[in-house]
Structure 1
Amino acid sequence: MRKLLGTLTAAAIAVGAVLTVAGPAQAAPALRFHSTQYDSPGKDTRSNASLNTEWIALVNTGSAAVNLKGWKIVDKSATYTIGNVTIAGKGGVVYLHTGKGSNTARHLYWSRGNYVWNNTGDTATLKTKAGKTHDTCTWKQKSGRTKVAC
């Protein structure tokens, strides 16, 4: 009986150790593409002003702020890796502009000299730090439209 109790106690301790090591599963951040202005208003001149009116926006619908460092916004022709930027919770929005500028908490700049998003249709992909696809935004050309909600 003593041997059986000793074996059961050892087994209970081993199971307890395993259970305390495993923590709760981490939920994926509530990030998604919000909208994009894929066609700059007016003539496409490739001026910095024109490039910066082409943008894509992320929204955080969760309650907690999320640090985006290492996340990527990907197009088939280019990839933007986000630096040390935190997007606020409860509707926080961050815009990624195509042209040059000084990054702020809400506005990031790709520093490209050419447009990224195709006016005839395209797909943007949001990838986690680990490289997993987290969200996509796909659009087709709409007559008279230059901006879409994702």
Structure 2
Amino acid sequence: MRTLSSVVGALALTACGIVATTTPAQAAPALRFHSTQYDSPGKDTRTNKSLNAEWIALVNTGSKPVRLTGWKIVDKSRTYTFGNVTIAGKGGKIYLHTGKGTNTRAHLYWGSGNYVWNNTGDTATLKTKAGKTHDTCKWGNKKGRTKVSC
């Protein structure tokens, strides 16, 4: 049961134009896997050039940039954790290459000396900083195909 003082207080706040509201939960970013080249062209030689020809890409279809710090791309046996990285809004893309290299805004490097993605089929999982699955990209073995859109 409300007391007279709580009702008077609520009326006073309303009269002053102060209304308490709750903020809606923050919507998940419009971020998803775009594509992957899971089998680098040519022979698998494990040279850095060949390793970097294997990549997976993210796209941000939302209007605002998304800070990826702490987000992860997970394979069955490996995990890549994003450092201080932001993906631009309105179609911004980031490519994560398997091998070693110097990170730029659009190209990041896993730093692996082995291939990450299986040519016969695999699943990539994008996880939020909190560890929740945000998106997946799955492919199977299709003869002659080395790249897929997610």
Q: Which residue of 2 aligns with 1:75?
A: 75
Q: How many residues align?
A: 147
What is the identity percentage for the equivalent residue pairs of Structure 1 and Structure 2?
A: 76
3-state SS in 2 of match to 1:139: strand
Query: How large is the Cα RMSD of the aligned pairs?
Result: 2.3
AA aligned to 1:49 is K
Measured after TM superposition, the shift of residue 107 of structure 1 is 0.3
Distance 1:23 1:80, change over 3 A: same
Measured after TM superposition, the shift of residue 11 of structure 1 is 6.2
* Alpha-carbon displacement from aligned partner over 1:46-79 (angstroms, at most 9, x marks no partner): 0000000000000000000111111000000100
* CA distance in 2: counterparts of 1:46 and 1:103, whole angstroms: 20
Q: Does 1:58 align with 2:58?
A: yes
TM-score (norm 1): 0.90
Q: Which residue of 2 aligns with 1:135?
A: 135
Q: Which residue of 1 aligns with 2:98?
A: 98
AA aligned to 1:48 is N
AA aligned to 2:74 is V
AA aligned to 2:133 is T
Q: Which residue of 2 aligns with 1:38?
A: 38
* Gapped regions of structure 2 (runs ≥ 5): none
Distance 1:61 1:11, change over 3 A: same
| Shift >3 Å, 4+ stretches | 10-14, 17-20
* Alpha-carbon displacement from aligned partner over 1:80-117 (angstroms, at most 9, x marks no partner): 00011111100000000000000000000000000000
Q: Which structure: greater helix fraction?
A: 1
TM-score (norm 2): 0.90
3-state SS in 2 of match to 1:6: helix
* CA distance in 2: counterparts of 1:46 and 1:140, whole angstroms: 22
Measured after TM superposition, the shift of residue 12 of structure 1 is 6.3
Measured after TM superposition, the shift of residue 25 of structure 1 is 2.0
* Gapped regions of structure 1 (runs ≥ 5): none
Q: Which residue of 2 aligns with 1:6?
A: 5
